[in-house]
Structure 1
């Protein structure tokens, strides 16, 4: 893409061209630097994707009789022991 700009910085020229850097995007030279003599600016667009994968974890249930728990009631040991 070729444009003409009176901006003093790379970021200003990109904004004038309707191509501002957003999020993790970056440019070479940096956005805050002066426009390069050859006029070449490289823009790298970065897209961040976060994905979550759910996976069931198998576990066993074990029932143990105890004199501390009344007959007919159940007690859960949260430590998994």
Structure 2
């Protein structure tokens, strides 16, 4: 399961509680280009998707909603792995 590194520990513990492997993805280096608030590095997230990926846990943080369209696009781009 892919989880943002910039989140509350509950996101990772939920994965561990299920007995699966946590794959952390870093935040964007300079944050979102508009808000400058750190979001998941969507390119790194897409690169982390493998045939073993079962879940991507999106994390909305500090009132900033993650880019669900970008997450969906990453999954679509990598669907050949499944």
Structure-1-length-normalised TM-score: 0.22
Structure with higher Rg: it is 1
Whose RCO is larger (CA < 8 A, sep 6+)?
A: 2
- Please state which structure has a larger fraction of its residues in helix: 2
